[in-house]
Amino acid sequence: MPHRWGMTVDLDRCTGCGACVTACHAENNIAVVGDVQAAKSRAMHWIRVERYWEGDFPDVRLKFRPVMCQQCDAAPCEPVCPTYASHHTDEGLNAQVYNRCIGTRYCANACPYNVRFFDFYNPKWPRPLHLQLNPDVSVREVGVMEKCTFCVQRISAAEIDAKAEKRELKDGEIEPACVQSCSAKALVFGDLNDPESEVSRLSRSTRGAKLLEELGTLPKVTYLARQTQV
């Protein structure tokens, strides 16, 4: 049975610290667009920690919600792409093939979660910052769409190792950069096809819910509700 990669986000553990955001930049060669472009809201954060205020001072609450590509099984972004740049892989990942992308940006419009980002310019890394670039991840050229891949480079690396060692992947062996950096362990990643895996166990939790479930996009990210004291 093929793997089916999924993630759970425990909103009761998440403290909104933002480590995942920086870790994602570090792992995936996401360009820093700079203040001028950031002011035009062209900053690219494959994962973002949304925060929502509730109520007014002094009875005020704040919700954090990390949002990355939900890797939907019925992803609205996939069918609208005329060149198959966005399509579904055998392991249920929502793949984005930069080389095929011609930049219609249709996928981004169709995505209800706004987790797709566009390279408005060729990225720049003033030397020697370029030495940090992760050689396992392609750098995107101007005019293509990019988004969270669940750190597919880590997944395939682990799979190749496991294959070489003629063994099954262990649960928790693969950690996307965001999961790895999360010190509160709010993010859990694993194989949803393995009923024993931590991620399967958690996504079965009664606290679990999908983001914009009603749209029928069948996301593979489950959000575990933050508990409130009575």
Partner 1 sequence: MDRRDFIKLTAVTGAGATLASCGNPEHQLIRFVPDDDIVPGIAEFKPSVCPLCRAGCGLSVRVMDADVETVRNGQAGVVKMMVAKKLEGDPKNPISRGGLCPRGQAAIQITYHPDRLTHPMKRTGARGTGEYKEVTWDEAIAELTGQLNALADAKDQKSLVLLARPRRSRRLELFAEFLSRFGAPAPIGFELFAEDVLRRANAVSFGHEQLPTFDLARAHYVLAFGADFLGTWNSPVSQNAGYGVMRQGRQASGGTRARFVHVEPRMSLTAASADEFVPVKPGTEGVLALGLAHIILRNKLRPADAAGRAGAAIDGWSGGLQDFKPENVEKITGVSALRIERLAHELVEFRPSVAMIGGAPLAHTNGLFNALAVNALNGLLGAVDQPGGVFFTPGVGRSPATPHRPPATAPQSGADAGLAVKVMLIDDANSVFASPKAWKVREALDTVPFIASFGSFLDETSLYADLILPDHSFLETWVDSQPESGALDAVSTVAGPAMKPLHNTRSTPDVVIEIAGKLKSPVALPWKSYEEMLKAPVGSRESAASHQPPATAVKYQPPRFDGDAAGFPFHFLPYASQAFLDGSTAHLPWLQEMPDPLTSGMWSSWIEINPRTAERLGVALGDIVDITSSQGTLQAPVVVFPGIAEDVVAMPVGQGHENFTRYASKRGVNPIGILAPLTESETGALAWAATRVKITRAGGNDGRLILFAGEMRENPFEGRRQER
Partner 2 sequence: MKEATAKRITDDLLRPLLHTSWRFFLLVAVLGGIVLMGGIAWMYQIWNGFGESGKRWPVFWGFYITNFVFWIGISHAGTLISAILRLVNAGWRRPVTRCAEVITAFALMIGAMFPIIHLGRPWLFFWLVPYPNQRLIWPNFRSPLVWDFFAISTYLTGSVLFLLLPMIPDFALVRDKTTGFRRKFYGALALGWQGTTKQWHRLESAMQIMAIAIIPVAVSVHTIVSFDFSMAPVPGWHSTIFGPYFVAGAIFSGIAALIIAMAALRKFLHLEDYLHPVHFENLGKLLLMMSLLWAYFVFAERLTTWYGNGTSEMNVFWATQDGGYSPLYWLMVVCNFVIPFPILSLRKLRTVTGCVIASCSVVVGMWLERFLIIVPTLSHKYLTYSWGSYRPGPPEIMIMISTFAAMGLLYTIFSKLVPIISIWELKVGEHPFPIETAAQVKEHAILRTNP
Partner 3 sequence: MSVLYALYSEPDEVQKAVDSLRKAGVPEKEIVVISSEPIEEYEFSHRDKATWLYWIAGGGGALGLAFGTWLTRMTELAWPLQTGGMPIVSWWPNLIVMFELTMLGGILATVVTLFITAKIPTRENALYDVAVSDGKILVGVESPTEGLRAGIQNALGAGRVVSR
- Contact call for residue 74 and partner 3 (CB under 8 A): yes
Q: Taking Cα atoms as reference points, which of 87, 141, 136, 80 lies closest to residue 112?
A: 80
Select from 51-59, 79-87, 127-135, 191-199 the region that touches partner 3 (CB under 8 A): 79-87
Cβ atoms < 10 Å from Cβ of 115: 20
Select from 12-20, 29-37, 72-80, 141-149 the region that touches partner 3 (CB under 8 A): 72-80
Which residue among 11, 21, 23, 145 contacts partner 2 (CB under 8 A)? 145
| Complete DSSP assignment for 6-70 | EEEEETTT-----HHHHHHHHHHTPPP-HHHHHHTT----SSEEEEEEES-TTS-EEEEEEE---
Q: Write out the two tokens for 50.
A: 């949304």
**What does 189 bind: partner 1, partner 2, partner 3, none (CB cut-off 5 to 8 Å by kind)?**
none
**What does 88 bind: partner 2, partner 3, partner 1, none (CB cut-off 5 to 8 Å by kind)?**
partner 3
**What does 133 bind: partner 2, partner 1, partner 3, none (CB cut-off 5 to 8 Å by kind)?**
partner 1
Contact 50, 67 (CB under 8 A): yes
Which residue among 7, 23, 67, 151 contacts partner 2 (CB under 8 A)? 67
